[in-house]
């Protein structure tokens, strides 16, 4: 059983501060972490490895500093880690990223056939949830998104059964390997690495592959291979406070003035809110 986990280095959003003047995020000085969804995926992969044998390879596309995140995965018990790093890969959008990662998985696959690929549901900095399905499509693997539980794995028959979260509920599906899973946090928090695991991760050499090594020409990866480009980045204008009604000068009057303003100045909004209930529509039909 060969499981590949794709991880991403993301800024720790809980540390991000906001510039009170420009209302933009200050990213400077914010530490990087492993995308929490991805780490849950790595934990799931290691549990599968412990139960069914085999190996877990962790890959990431990123800058050399992303080795820290790969080491974290090794400390949990991943078998090997590969960094895909090349300046030609920088500035990739989701299409170029899924191409790069799937090329790397194919290289791993050539050495030892891959049965399961696990990605986080989405990255907390981009929230796109596109890379996982993109990789599955390129590899031709069956994709099972929003997996909240791995119920069973039948190695002999090559079948995996998982629970997926879907709109308004969940479903239990059985699929034939090879599969790509994108996982929810419900799958289970990563373990706290043991001391020998941590020491091994610190000492392990992490392989680095360039674009050439995964056989992706520079024109189709990174910024050049990305159909989308950012035109502008801007901060939404900071909110400005509006009128303040003091109940100390008469509660009833204050509430009344507020509602007056609302129903006059925000009549469209008020209509819409009440329309959601269908009250206005019903009224019209009457």
Site for another protein in 61-100 (CB under 8 A): 63-65, 87-91, 93-95, 98
3-state secondary structure of 71: helix
Question: Is residue 117 within a helix (H) or strand (E), and if so which, with residue range?
Answer: strand 116-120
C-alpha span between 220 and 232 (Å, rounded): 23
Which residue from 110, 156, 236, 264 is in contact with another protein, where contact means CB under 8 A?
236
The residue count for binding another protein (CB under 8 A) is 121
Nearest to another protein of 69, 111 (CB atom)? 69
The contact pattern for another protein, residues 101-130, with x = CB under 8 A and - = no contact, is ------------------------xxxxxx
Site for another protein in 37-56 (CB under 8 A): none
Per CB under 8 A, does 251 bind another protein? yes
Token readout for 275 is: 């329309």
CB of 51 to another protein, least distance (A): 18
For 22-26, the CB contacts below 8 A with 24+ separation are 22/235, 23/235, 23/236, 23/237, 23/238, 24/235
C-alpha span between 106 and 177 (Å, rounded): 16
Extract the runs of DSSP E, i.e. beta strands, from 139-189: 142-154, 159-166, 169-176, 179-183
The contact pattern for another protein, residues 166-205, with x = CB under 8 A and - = no contact, is xxxxxxxxxxx---------------xxxxx-xx--xx--
Which residue from 16, 50, 154, 189 is in contact with another protein, where contact means CB under 8 A?
16
């Amino acid at each position: 059983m060969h499981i590949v986990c794709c991880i991403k280095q993301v800024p720790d959003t809980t540390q991000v501060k906001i510039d009170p003047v420009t209302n933009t995020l200050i990213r400077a000085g914010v530490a990087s972490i492993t995308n929490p969804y991805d780490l849950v995926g790595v934990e799931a992969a290691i549990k599968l490895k412990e139960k069914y044998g085999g190996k877990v390879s962790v890959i990431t596309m990123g800058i050399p500093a992303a080795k820290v995140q790969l080491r974290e995965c090794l400390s949990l018990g991943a078998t090997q880690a590969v960094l895909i790093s090349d300046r030609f890969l920088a500035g990739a959008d989701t299409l170029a990223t899924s191409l790069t990662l799937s090329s790397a998985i194919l290289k791993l696959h050539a050495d030892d056939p891959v049965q399961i690929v696990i990605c986080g549901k989405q990255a907390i900095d981009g929230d796109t949830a596109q890379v996982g399905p993109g990789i599955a499509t390129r590899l031709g693997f069956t994709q099972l998104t929003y997996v909240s539980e791995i119920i069973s794995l039948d190695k002999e028959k090559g079948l995996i059964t998982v629970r997926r979260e879907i709109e308004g509920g969940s479903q239990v599906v059985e699929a034939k390997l090879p599969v790509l899973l994108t996982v929810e946090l419900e799958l289970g928090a990563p373990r706290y690495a043991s001391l020998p695991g941590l020491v091994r991760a610190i000492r392990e050499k992490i392989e680095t592959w360039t674009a050439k090594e995964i056989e992706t020409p520079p024109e189709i990866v990174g910024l050049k291979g990305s159909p989308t480009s950012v035109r502008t980045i801007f901060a939404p204008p900071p909110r400005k406070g509006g009128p303040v009604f003091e109940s100390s000068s008469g509660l009833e009057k204050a509430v009344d003035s507020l509602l007056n303003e609302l129903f006059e100045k925000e009549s469209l909004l008020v209509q819409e809110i009440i329309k959601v209930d269908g009250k206005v529509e019903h009224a019209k039909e009457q």
